[in-house]
Amino acid sequence: MSKITIEGGRRLSGELAIHGAKNAVLPILAGTLLTGRSVIHNCPALSDVTAACNILTYLGCAAHREGGSIVIESDALTCCDIPDGLMREMRSSVVFLGAVIARCGSARVSLPGGCELGPRPIDLHLSSLRKLGVEILEDHGYLNCSVPEQLRGASISLPFPSVGATENIILAACMAKGDTVISNAAREPEIEDLASFLKTAGADIHIKENGTIYISGVEKLHPVEYSVIPDRIEAATYLCCAAITGGEIRLRDVIPEHLTSVYPVLEEAGCTVQTDQSSIRLTSLERPRPIRMVRTMPYPGFPTDAQSPLMALSSIASGTSVYVENIFESRYKHAGELARMGARIKVEGRVAVVEGVDKLHGATVVCTDLRGGASLCTAALAAQGVSEITHIHHIERGYQDFEKNLSSLGAVVKRI
Ligand code: EPZ
Measured CA to CA, the distance from residue 8 to residue 386 in angstroms comes to 6
For a mutational test of ligand 1's pocket, the pick from 19, 94, 160, 368, i.e. the residue with the most ligand atoms closer than 8 A to its C-beta, is 160
Measured CA to CA, the distance from residue 293 to residue 274 in angstroms comes to 23
CB burial class (10 A; 0-12, 13-18, 19+) of residue 195? buried
Contact of 49 with 42, CB cutoff 8 Å: no
- Give the model's pLDDT for residue 66: 97
Ligand 1 centroid – CA 164 distance (Å)? 6
Output the average pLDDT for the chain. Answer: 96
Listed range (1-5, 248-252, 322-326, 358-362) with the worst mean pLDDT: 1-5
- Give the model's pLDDT for residue 1: 74
80 catalytic? Reply is: no
Ligand 1 centroid – CA 178 distance (Å)? 28
DSSP per-residue string spanning 45-57: --HHHHHHHHHHH
**Residue 182, phi then psi, degrees to nearest 5:** -110, 110
- Per-residue pLDDT, averaged over 165-176, amounts to 98
Supply the residue whose CA is at minimum distance from atom 22 of ligand 1: 305
- Give the model's pLDDT for residue 112: 78
**Is 411's pLDDT higher than 90?**
yes
- Give the model's pLDDT for residue 119: 79
**Is 71's pLDDT higher than 80?**
yes
Supply the residue whose CA is at minimum distance from atom 9 of ligand 1: 163
Measured CA to CA, the distance from residue 146 to residue 273 in angstroms comes to 51
- Write out residues with Cβ below 6 Å of ligand 1: 22-23, 26, 92, 120-125, 160, 162-165, 186, 190, 304-305, 327-328, 370-371, 398
Contact of 298 with 308, CB cutoff 8 Å: no
- Residues 61, 115, 174, 367: which is the catalytic one? 115
| Cβ atoms within 10 Å, residue 264 | 12
- Give the model's pLDDT for residue 190: 98
Contact of 337 with 201, CB cutoff 8 Å: no
Which among 2, 115, 80 has a CA at the least distance from the CA of 388? 2
Which among 183, 104, 195, 116 has a CA at the least distance from the CA of 150? 104
Q: What is the pLDDT of residues 209-257, one digit of tens each?
A: 899 999 999 999 999 999 999 999 999 999 999 999 999 999 999 999 9
Measured CA to CA, the distance from residue 126 to residue 112 in angstroms comes to 13
Residue 304 Cα: closest atom of ligand 1: 8
For residue 310, the surrounding DSSP H or E stretch is helix 307-314
Contact of 411 with 378, CB cutoff 8 Å: no
